Amino acid sequence: MADFSKQWCELNDPEMPHDFDLVEEYNKLQPGYSVSMICEGVGILAVAKGHQNEMLIAVGDDYVDDYIHWKDYNEFIENYKIEQGIK
């Protein structure tokens, strides 16, 4: 069964109940820690709090299996909205 974050639901299907909130999970973390949270909607594999308290998300590599990239959450969401044509 697929899991969807609150953030995906708010952008794509506001009536759909979410399974978890990425921001809420981020707020529980200490700097330098992550937690696995798979959001099928945007392809997020984990959320982390960087050493400078930045919110990071892990996404899979398009070309290499079993390889992830850590990306800035806000940048990732803005790019996702552009790619999906969401205003």
Whether 70 contacts 60, CB under 8 Å: no
Mean pLDDT of all residues in the chain? 94
- Residue 62's pLDDT is 85
Domain residue limits, the chain: 6-84
Summarize pLDDT for 69-84 with one digit per residue, the tens. Answer: 999 999 999 999 999 9
pTM of the model: 0.88
Low-confidence ranges of the chain (pLDDT < 50): none
- Residue 87's pLDDT is 79
The helix, strand and coil proportions of the chain, stated in percent and rounded to the nearest 5, come to 30, 30, 40
